[in-house]
Amino acid sequence: MYPGNNPNEAVNILDLHFIPLLTEQQVQARVHEIGAALTARFPDQKPLFISILSGAFVFASDLIRAFKSDCEVGFVKLSSYTGTRSSGAIQTVMGLEKDLRGRHVIVVEDIVDTGRTLHFFLNQLQLQEPASICTVTFLRKPEAAAFPVQVDYVGFDIEDKFVVGYGLDYEGLGRNLPGVYQLSEQG
């Protein structure tokens, strides 16, 4: 059941129950803050935003519109998750077609959990010799320290609970929720 206009309503997706964590207003305010910070940092460099699919596409689409200067956008698809737990192995399902040499790259991730995905991707990116790499994640969980990754901008630090909404899914569902919801322990 989807929430109507009430952001305090819980949602059920398949067998799981989720309670509200971040409202659409909180999310949008933070995305605009990060967009403004990136605009100030890359005023004339035409940075290339690289959105990690699938989860980061919603965040990336809002973030580029909060970026008030010229920029380009590209997408890569990596996957390490099945159900509510990371499967461990990372796969590049779809790569970038752009030449990154000498470009200022802004990597946009939905959530950094163990950091494994970003760690893997940043290593690949370095090989292509961009002028600079900036990393942005919408959410970060405390376990992020498990893999050494530098995250320059974090939307929100959250508890180690499974979340959906704003691009993040459970079994393919929930990506279109404008706020963020966390798995309820109550079931």
- List binders of ligand 5GP among 132-171 (CB under 6 A): 162-164, 168-169
What does the alpha-carbon distance between residue 23 and residue 136 come to, in Å, rounded to a whole number? 20
Q: For residue 4, what are the contacts with CB-CB under 8 A and spacing of at least 6?
A: none
Residues 28-57, interacting with ligand 5GP (CB under 6 A): 55
Rounded Cα distance, 31 and 45, in Å: 20
The Cα–Cα gap between 172 and 152 comes to 28
The 3-state DSSP class for residue 9 equals coil
Q: Is 113 a catalytic residue?
A: yes
Cα 120 vs. chain centroid, distance in angstroms?
A: 15
Residue placing its CB nearer to ligand 5GP in the complex, 103 or 116: 116
- The nearer residue to ligand 5GP, 42 or 163, going by C-beta atoms, is 163
Does 124 bind ligand 5GP (CB under 6 A)? Our answer is no
Among 20, 34, 51, 113, binds ligand 5GP (CB under 6 A): 113
Site for ligand 5GP, rule CB under 6 A: 55, 80-81, 86, 109-117, 162-164, 168-169
